[in-house]
């Protein structure tokens, strides 16, 4: 049964907090850091919108897309250049940033730079990766965001959270990004999303469940057998609104100035001009719930 005795914990990311009683957090940016200029353009737009709407903003982009459908797909600028670009962008915006890591050896350099370390959904059960990320995050006073694998039930996310705890890191966020439904389809189980928000951690910790983020763009993905995955980006806004109405603490969005020409996740990234109406709706829903 869910642990109702302890309220959800707070996740601290640099000088911001995510969790109950805190402003809605927006984790957003381009999927792949195609260039420093593109990241800066998207980050500027989103940071200004979030400040205007009273939302917390965390810049997101990937320095390496290690899980691509094709060996020939673009992967990004790499670890060293990517972390340097990400640091420059986040510093200019005066916001925290997050990026994903794929191998244990990447944990230490990523934790030296990034405020929030992201564990990809497909890797959420990889013990060595979780231990390295948890140890590096604890050492550098960072946080870890674990995306729920498309193959896991919400209750099974207690495993990754426990591994991070045993690595010394309780400064954790979990993210829902859809669940496999047969072949080539993801579904969002909103009852399960609420289960994730009540994750039972009492067997290994006195803390309550980690705060929960909802990944609205990857949830519309249509995994395929071709050179790249498909998706239905037009459904992202509705899913995000529903998740905020349910009470999630953060929303994850991938946004690109020209999604159809994006080097990664072209079918699911949202166009830059869609950000303002979506974020405005999310801010209004969160405000209505507080009242």
Count of all residues that appear for the chain in the document = 291
Q: What is the pLDDT of residues 210-222, one digit of tens each?
A: 999 999 999 998 8
Whole-angstrom Cα distance, residue 149 to residue 185?
A: 14
Place of tokens 């060293």: 80
pLDDT digits (tens, 9 = 90+) for 22-32: 999 999 999 99
Q: Taking Cα atoms as reference points, which of 107, 31, 28 lies closest to residue 75?
A: 31
CA pseudo-torsion sign 97, 218, 277, 42:
positive
Q: What is the pLDDT of residue 70?
A: 63
What is the DSSP-derived secondary structure letter of residue 47?
A: H
Neighbours of 291 (CB within 10 A): 5
156-190 per-position pLDDT tens digit: 999 999 999 999 999 999 999 999 988 888 999 99
Judge whether 138 and 169 are in contact, CB under 8 Å: yes
- Please, what is the average pLDDT of the chain? 94
**Which residues on neighbouring strands pair with residue 256, listed in sequence order?**
271
**135 φ, ψ (degrees, to nearest 5):** -65, -45
Which residues pair with residue 175 across a beta bridge? 147, 213
Q: Which two tokens stand for residue 198?
A: 């009540």
This prediction has a pTM of 0.95
In DSSP notation, 92-105 reads HHT--EEEE--SGG
Return d(Cα 265, Cα 273) in angstroms, integer.
17
Tokens describing residue 71: 């060996």
**DSSP conformation class of 261:** G
pLDDT at 68: 59
Q: At 263, list the tokens.
A: 């080097």
Distance CA 253, CA 142 (A): 21
CA 151 vs CA 121, 161, 178, 239, 248: distances in Å: 9, 16, 9, 20, 21
- Domains in the chain (CATH in brackets) are 22-290 (3.20.20.70)
In contact, 224 and 230? CB cutoff 8 Å = yes
Decide which of 134 and 72 is more confident.
134
Helix (H) or strand (E) holding 191: helix 190-197
């Amino acid at each position: 049964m869910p642990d109702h005795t302890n309220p959800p914990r707070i996740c601290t990311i640099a000088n911001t907090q995510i969790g109950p009683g805190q402003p809605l957090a927006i984790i957003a940016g381009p999927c792949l850091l195609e260039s420093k200029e593109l990241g800066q353009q998207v980050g500027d737009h989103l940071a200004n919108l979030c400040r205007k709407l009273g939302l917390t903003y965390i810049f997101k982009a990937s320095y390496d897309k290690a899980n691509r459908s094709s060996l020939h797909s673009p992967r990004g600028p790499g670890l060293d250049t990517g972390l340097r670009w990400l640091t420059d962008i986040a510093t200019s915006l005066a916001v925290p940033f997050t990026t994903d890591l794929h191998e244990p050896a990447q944990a230490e350099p990523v934790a030296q730079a990034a405020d929030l370390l992201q564990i990809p959904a497909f890797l959420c059960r990889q013990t060595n990766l979780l231990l390295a990320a948890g140890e590096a995050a604890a050492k550098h006073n960072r946080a870890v965001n674990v995306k729920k694998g498309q193959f896991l039930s919400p209750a099974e996310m207690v495993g990754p959270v426990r591994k991070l705890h045993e690595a010394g890191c309780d400064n954790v966020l979990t993210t829902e990004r859809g669940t496999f439904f047969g072949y080539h389809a993801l579904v969002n189980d909103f009852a399960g999303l609420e289960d994730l928000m009540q994750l039972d951690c009492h067997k290994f910790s006195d803390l309550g469940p980690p705060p929960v983020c909802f990944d609205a763009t990857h949830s519309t993905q249509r995994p395929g057998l071709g050179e790249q995955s498909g998706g239905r980006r037009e459904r992202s806004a509705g899913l995000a609104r529903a998740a905020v109405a349910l009470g999630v603490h953060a929303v994850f969005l991938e946004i690109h100035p020209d999604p159809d020409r994006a080097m990664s996740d072209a079918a699911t990234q949202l166009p830059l001009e869609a950000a303002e109406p979506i974020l405005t709706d999310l801010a209004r829903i969160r405000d209505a719930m507080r009242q």
